Amino acid sequence: MMANTSNQQNLRVAADWWVRLRDAKAGEQTTQQWLAWIDEDAAHLDAFERVTDLAARLGALDDVSHATLMAEFAPAVVSRRWWPLGAAAAAVLLVAGGMLGWSMLGQSSEPQLYTSEIGAQTDVTLEDGSRVALGGATRLTTRFSRSHREVDLAEGEAYFEVVHNASRPFVVHAGKLRIEDIGTAFDVRRTGDHVTISMAEGRVRIEDSASGQGRSLEAVAGQAVSYDPSRSALSMATTDPAQAAAWRHARLEFDNEPLSVVVANINRYRTHPVRIADAGLQSMTFTGTVKTNAIDDWLQALPQVLPLTVSEIGGQTVLSDTRGRHGAG
């Protein structure tokens, strides 16, 4: 069953590549991205050849019923020897009835769930060829159709390298935010309804869907956008594009963020959780870097930065307020 699901996904991705390669606007970058996908797995090449063959038959034999043609294509086929890039591109460009090939392979796909464990990083390739890197304890769901690509980031952090397709918008939903790709690589971190978007390249459009006022802004490489649910506000700051996904290199970056957000993200990389015992600490802000392979060292040094103590209680690391104003735990 898993092998069949994988084959179906490969066919969907191959069909998407087939359509994009036929686009008059497709350039060298599209070709390079396609080649990178082909090189990932021999099954990708086989799927692309099957889609190309199917499209050629659809164009040449338009009087053949879809049911008969698909019945012929259902069995696995032996992969043929790959032809040179120029011949493949020429064959694709000469095929008639292009969009039929995609519709024959299915107008939409079932939702796909992707998750990662605490302290783990997981790289996935989506149905359209876009790449996503999942940080620790992350969960996201994709829902793709012929006209839309929707991703729901339920929790955690993910770095997206999107294969841009203006006719199929790529949208990430994170809490109350809607983030639409406009040819982009970007990072999204969700902590409850706190959301931070860091731009590595390209541009995204960010909308606050909860405001009811249609508030939106665009962010480009070198910018980071944060959403604070307590103020229902979007704020923008400058950042180093190279640091957009520093967590991929074992560094969690925080810029004037509530301690509650900092701790929640640290716990995605620590099986021994940290707990804030006093409500007064929740809104204290922290700016700095926490190395995921040295979280204990950071905890030991934290009392030198903030008025708190660090102790071990009941299998948890507990942060307690030392200012004498203890709130509910």
What does the alpha-carbon distance between residue 154 and residue 157 come to, in Å, rounded to a whole number?
9
Tell me which DSSP letter residue 66 carries.
H
Cα Rg of the chain, angstroms: 24
Per the CB < 8 A criterion, the answer to whether 197 and 179 are in contact is: yes
Taking only the tens place, the pLDDT of each residue in 63-78 is 444 445 444 444 333 3
The 10s digit of each residue's pLDDT in 182-197 is 878 999 999 999 999 9
Q: Give the domain-ending residue among 69, 104, 139.
A: 104
Is residue 125 located within the same domain as residue 220? yes
| Residue 199 and residue 284 in one domain | no
Task: Tell me the pLDDT band of 83, cut-offs 50, 70 and 90.
Answer: very low
Number of structural domains in the chain:
3
The rounded mean pLDDT for the chain is 81
Q: Which of 108-117, 196-205, 248-257 has the lowest mean pLDDT?
A: 108-117
CATH code at position 187 = 2.60.120.1440
pLDDT value for 35? 84
| 329 located within any domain | no
Residue 305 resides in a domain: yes
Residue 185 lies in a domain: yes
* 40 vs 5, higher pLDDT: 40
Top pLDDT among 63 and 274 is at 274
Q: Give the domain extent around 195.
A: 112-241
More confident of the two residues 227 and 14: 227
Q: Are residues 226 and 302 in the same domain?
A: no
Q: 306 and 288 in one domain?
A: yes
- Residues sharing a CB contact under 8 Å with residue 198, sequence separation 6 or more, in sequence order: 186, 187, 189, 224, 239, 243, 244, 245
Give the pLDDT confidence score for residue 324 in this predicted structure: 65
Note whether 315 and 206 are same-domain residues.
no
